[in-house]
Amino acid sequence: MKSTQSISATRLILGFTLAIFATTGLLQAQYAEDALRFSTFNLGIGARSAGMGNASIGLAEDFSALFTNPAGLASLRSFEFSVGLSNVGYNNDATFFGNTLSGNNRVTNLDNLGLVYPVPTTRGSLSFGFGFARVANYSTTASFKGFNPGSSIVESMTPGVNLNAMPGADRKDLLDSNIPFQIFLSDTLGGRLYPNVTDSVQQEGNVIEGGGLNSWSFGGAIEISRGLSLGVGINILAGSYTYDRLYTETDSKKAYLLNLQRTDFNRFQYESTINSNISGYNVLIGLMYKKQGKYKLGLTVRTPTYYDISEDFSDIGNSWFYNGDHFQVRKPGSTKYNVKTPVVLSGGASVQLTDWILLAGDAEFTDWTQMEFTNDNPDLLDENRVIRDVFRSTTNLRGGAEFALLNLGLRLRAGVVYNPSPYKGDPSSRDQLYYTAGLGAAIEENVFLNASLALGKWSTLRDNYYLSGLDTPPSRTNESIKTNSFNINLSYRF
C-alpha cells in the first residue's frame, strides 16, 4: 500500500488493507499513520491557555497544569474544582479529478473534570491534582467523486502472482480471501490472477473517523526551593478509534457494457470498518521557576506513551453486473498491536509586562522517527524502518497574550500555534496553523469562567491505492482542512 518513496506525501490513507491483498489473503496491517495518530494530542487542556495559543509550559497555574506542566500546581494555595466542555468542528474540501466536495464532522465532549488539593504547609507549597481530560480527538471526514480514466482499485487488490508456483494450500487461501476474485471482478488465466476492471470508472468515497483519547491523571508538585517547583503527573490513557469508509466504482460511461471484449461490470462497492480499543500510559515531569509578578520559566519532559491496541475490522465487497448478477463477500477479522510514541521535550516562559499585559510562549520538540511498533512481527518491524525513513524532527511553536481590563474584571486573550508537518519533504502548506482567541471573567470572587476559540487551517492529501511501477499514485485527493474548536471552562476555588 505504501512505499518509502511515496509515504512522505501520504495522509489520511483511504484504505488500511488494500495492499495486503497483493501478497496474501485478508490480513489487517498497521502503518506509520497509525503510530502518528496515537502519538499526537490535542492543542491543549483548559480554555485559558487555549485562548493564548496554548502557551502553557511557563504559565500553568490552574488545574490544566496537571496535563501541561505539573510543576505549576505548586502555585495554587487554595482548592480548585474545574470542569470544561469542548466542541470541535472539522471541514474538508477534497478535490478529486477536478471535482471538489465538502465534508463536515462535529463532536462535543467533556474537556476536563478535576480537583486540585493544596496541602497546608508552613514553608513552600505542596499540591496534588487528579482528574480527567480529553487529550485527543480523532473525528475527521472526507468525501470525493470523479471519473478516473486510467486505473481501478480492483487492480491494486489483485496480486500479480504465479499461482502455479504456489503450494496448493497457499493458493487456496489467497483465492478464498481475495475479494475481487470472490465476487468475479478478477479471474485466473495461464496460472495467474488478473483483474477484470482496470480503468474508465467513476470513483467516489466517503470516510468518517471518530473516537478519541481520555487521560485519567494524578500528579503533584512541591516547591523545592524559593520560586522553584517540581511536578510529576502520571497519566492513564483509554479511548477508542473508529473508521468507516464506503468506496464505490461505477461504469458511468458504459465502457464495460459497450465493449464486448470486456466483462459486463456495472458497479463495485467496498465497505471497510475498524473499531479500536486503546489503552496506554505516560509520565509528565515538569520544572517551573517564577519571579513573583515578573516572569515564569518552565521545562517539561513527557516520557514515551506505551499503547496496547486491539482492533476489530470488517471488509465487505459487493459487485453488480449488467446481466443482473450480484455477488457479496464479507471478511471480518481482529488484531492486536503495540505502539511506543516519542519523548516530547518542551520549554516555555511567561512575562508580566505590566499589570494588564501578560505574554507567554512555548516551544515543543518531538523526534517523530522515534515512533515505533513494539510487536515482534516482521511486517511491523518493516514499518518501523519506513517511519525512520519518512518522518523527521519538528519543533511546535506557541505564543499568546492576555490583556486585563482591570475595571471590568475581564481578560482578553489571543494567540497563534504553528505545528510543522512531521513528514520529510512536505511543503509549508501542510504545516498546521491555528489562530486563537479567548475571554475570561470573574463571575464571583472565587468563580472563574473562561472561553476560547481556535481556528486551524492546512492542506493534506489522500491516496486511495497504489499500483506497482507508477511513481505517482493513480487515485489521489488534494484536501483543504479547516477546523474550529470552542472550549468553555468553569473553575471554583475555595
The 8-class DSSP code of residue 378 comes to H
Cα distances (angstroms) measured from residue 473 to each of 150, 167, 196, 198, 487: 11, 32, 20, 15, 39
The x, y and z cell numbers of residue 268, run together, are 463495485
Please give the mean pLDDT across all residues of the chain. Answer: 91
Render pLDDT for 441-494 as a digit per residue (tens, 0 to 9). 998 889 999 999 999 999 999 999 989 888 888 999 999 999 999 999 999 999
Cα distances (angstroms) measured from residue 281 to each of 230, 238, 331, 339, 387: 20, 9, 33, 11, 22
- The number of helix segments (H) and strand segments (E) in the chain equals 8, 20
In a domain, 374, yes or no: yes
Can you tell me the distance from the alpha carbon of 277 to that of 275, in angstroms, rounded to the nearest whole number?
A: 7
Check which CATH number belongs to the domain holding 230 and give it. 2.40.160.60
| Closest listed residue to residue 203, CA positions, set 261, 154, 257, 274 | 154
In the prediction, which pLDDT does 2 show? Answer: 34
In a domain, 1, yes or no: no
Please give the model's pTM, rounded to 2 decimal places: 0.89
Cα distances (angstroms) measured from residue 371 to each of 338, 416, 425, 430: 11, 27, 18, 20
Of 14 and 353, the one with more pLDDT: 353
In a domain, 92, yes or no: yes
Residue 197 C-beta-side C-alpha neighbours within 13 Å: 32
Which residues are registered as beta bridge partners of 458? 481
pLDDT tier for residue 29 given thresholds of 50, 70 and 90: low
| Closest listed residue to residue 16, CA positions, set 209, 239, 160 | 209
CB 314 within 8 A of CB 333: yes
Range of the domain at 277: 7-493
Domain count, the chain: 1
Can you tell me the distance from the alpha carbon of 428 to that of 416, in angstroms, rounded to the nearest whole number?
A: 16
Please check the confidence at residue 257 and state whether its pLDDT lies above 60. yes
Render pLDDT for 395-439 as a digit per residue (tens, 0 to 9). 999 999 999 987 778 999 999 999 999 999 999 999 999 999 999
In a domain, 2, yes or no: no
Can you tell me the distance from the alpha carbon of 328 to that of 320, in angstroms, rounded to the nearest whole number?
A: 9
Between strands 393-405 and 326-340, the pairing is unpaired
In a domain, 110, yes or no: yes
